[in-house]
Chains A and B, each alone.
Chain A
């Protein structure tokens, strides 16, 4: 590789090393390496996808091209050339002149990235004015053009709103406009669609892609979702634990990955689950459920679903569709306004506090955030042992034995019992939560987005474990998720929820086979597929459909 800093490349990262000094009270500070010797180059107008699981260092590398370290993160070695200048050597003042002018940034959560106190337009043109690139009216005109290019509604007036007055998907597009406004050479997109619903994600993705094409800006696109990055990147770099695993063209990475880790990423979610046929009588029937909070409107409206013993009902929908509310009704935390749940043929008491102990034991729950679902000051053994003690009155040696059995079931070593939640990885924590639910020997477990916060490979492991446990323990799952790939992997029957109503309900084959209703069609076609050109195909067919209508 040429060592001449003034070569053709827009971005040239060489042997980048990034670390952080962890200071804990009472312990000497220790240095942790986050990124170890990563190099890459990016030409003008090109898009490089950085992909990896959490902790792979992809955001850290992205921010290093703005010479920025989040928190106590420091760039400890290497060089980062942008337009031929080593930006790590810039003075504070030069750095301020560089940031936001040559390279700009789009963050994962636009809702948090915008200042709630100022109007959108003032924030969008701020960098442009700060760097003296345009005067105010020119900058506003440019912002409006960008709003239009990004398909935002009312491009002339949307800038006058405050961040809380526009939706999440719109805000993410406004943030893209904000990054584009000062005409930078490079934009760092840091998981820009991860926090969005799948049907919103596709619009934002299409808007970003269009904006990149029109403006000819180069981009670093950071994501954990290979299918998303395949739509937008020319090249992909796969990262793991701060090191490059594989770097190649998008086509090569998707179609002929060389490294084992990349192959695992590409083939993730390949669980094949034979769907079981519903038996005669359901274990649980929720009939004509209507529920809402306080004096507000009904959040779920006339929903009827069945859960069969030893089978999985997947409840799918976007945020706000009422799927978690349905779970709250089943657990009794939210008594329904009308409708009735039956359990093994007999009516289930509406309010959780009035239910007999056995009913409470039979319906257990696993949550999305394993972190917050466990008491950080209790050991794993205490956490798993609590339901055993509470429901079965087991104590002493017998309790320890049952805890060890539970740990074995979730494939964790038995010495884990003495550890605290903070010492476990995300996947291990979720396994402990599964063990805690299972320890009550329930007939049904409600799994509320249990894999959403996990990396794909870890999530895969959790799903496999859940399926395996279902086979052995004959437990039923109500599996709440927004992720259709997960649904395909584990469901026996599916309930698609939209705006509090059942949009579609039936066995997996029934629900996933055409003809579709409009919403299910939209939902299914919005899930990114690991295929180059998928995005164009979908958007083109949608345009044709709307033209045809």
Chain B
């Protein structure tokens, strides 16, 4: 167990280090953009005096390093700063939106991950026969369609024609869990269709790779049924690549949902970020960037840890 723990500790410290590096990159990146917030706020009425005054007021005159450490120090205590355009606290604005985004991603993941893995197992069991081809073709079709198209299609069928789910994903504080689930169902389904193919194909490929192993033959010659062989003997050895692609898609579900949020008018992080990018509200962009990076790194960390734990050689060294 010692070896596995050391590896995990290593990964976690590397993850934290990476996060600091990313924070520096985000900060530098926003600094080298041409123009600044003062210019974009004042727009046409920008005179040199006005600009200088506003910059002083917003603290943009401080040296970059000082601003970076002030920013970082604030983040440590949960203060992401204030939005330049509205003067509101970013932390407050983001909390509910991040919650909404995570909720939508969680629902989409709950639906898509089990379906993807089960479809992958089925595809392996009926390899090169019609169920496999049907699964491959339909998931490929769903990934090939643009998100907005799938979204509108679902709205048309389930929202307008059948009337099962609302076409606009309105959520508000104090909404019951059931209502909330109902509200996000269409965007969650849209996301499911987008990420399903990738995960399913990776599951299929990873398991097929393992199915070539001699121990699969051993299992077959014991008289085990095909599903038992795939489930008990192949899947445990294919966990690592599957978990990696699952985590990658989960990250996408959280940070890549702008289009879906727009279609369903869902108050999540994506829309918030896009709004503020267009307004050149640097603190908000920085805060969103850092949160997205933390989510990416965190999910990949989880994937790494599961991979380590799923390897018996690391769990039980000689």
Contact = CB atoms under 8 A, between A and B. Distances in A.
A26 B313 CA distance: 43
A281 interface: no
A98 interface: yes
A287 B222 CA distance: 54
A165 B218 contact: no
B215 A115 contact: yes
Given A70-B217, A164-B318, A165-B316, A130 B236 contact: no
A130 B221 CA distance: 12
Contacts of A429: none
Given A99-B222, A100-B223, A117-B236, A162 B312 contact: yes
A164 B224 contact: no
B223 A113 contact: no
B218 A130 contact: no
Residue among A66, A97, A117, A164 facing the most chain B CB atoms (10 A cut-off):
A117
B219 interface: yes
Contact of B215 (A70, A113, A164): A113
6 contacts: A98-B223, A116-B237, A116-B313, A117-B312, A130-B223, A164-B318
Interface size class of A (residues with CB under 8 A): 20 to 34
Contacts of A112: 213-215
A161 B318 CA distance: 9
A199 B114 CA distance: 50
Interface string B220-241: 1111110010001100110000
Contacts of A89: none
Interface of A: 66, 68, 70, 95-101, 104-105, 107, 109, 112-118, 123, 126-127, 130-131, 161-162, 164-165
Chain B interface size band reads 20 to 34
A112 B237 CA distance: 13
Given A107-B214, A115-B233, A117-B236, A68 B220 contact: yes
Given A68-B220, A118-B233, A118-B236, 12 more contacts: A68-B217, A96-B224, A105-B221, A107-B217, A109-B214, A112-B213, A114-B215, A116-B312, A117-B237, A127-B224, A164-B312, A164-B313
Contacts of A113: 214-215, 217-218
Contacts of B213: 112
Contacts of A164: 312-313, 316, 318
A433 B119 CA distance: 49
Interface in B179-216: 213-215
Contacts of A99: 220-223
A97 B223 contact: yes
Contacts of A123: 218
Contacts of B214: 107, 109, 112-113
Nearest to B239: A117
Top 6 closest pairs, chain A to chain B, by CB? A100-B222, A112-B214, A100-B223, A99-B223, A127-B222, A117-B236
B222 A104 contact: yes
Contacts of A127: 222-224
Given A109-B214, A164-B313, A104 B221 contact: yes
A189 to B, nearest CB: 13
Contacts of B220: 68, 99
Nearest to A131: B223
Nearest to A70: B217
Nearest to A166: B318
A117 B218 CA distance: 14
Nearest to A181: B222
Contacts of B219: 115, 126
A267 to B, nearest CB: 34
Nearest to A103: B221
A107 B218 contact: yes
Contacts of B316: 161-162, 164-165
Nearest to A66: B221
A162 B318 CA distance: 9
A375 B217 CA distance: 32
A97 B225 CA distance: 9
A99 B225 CA distance: 11
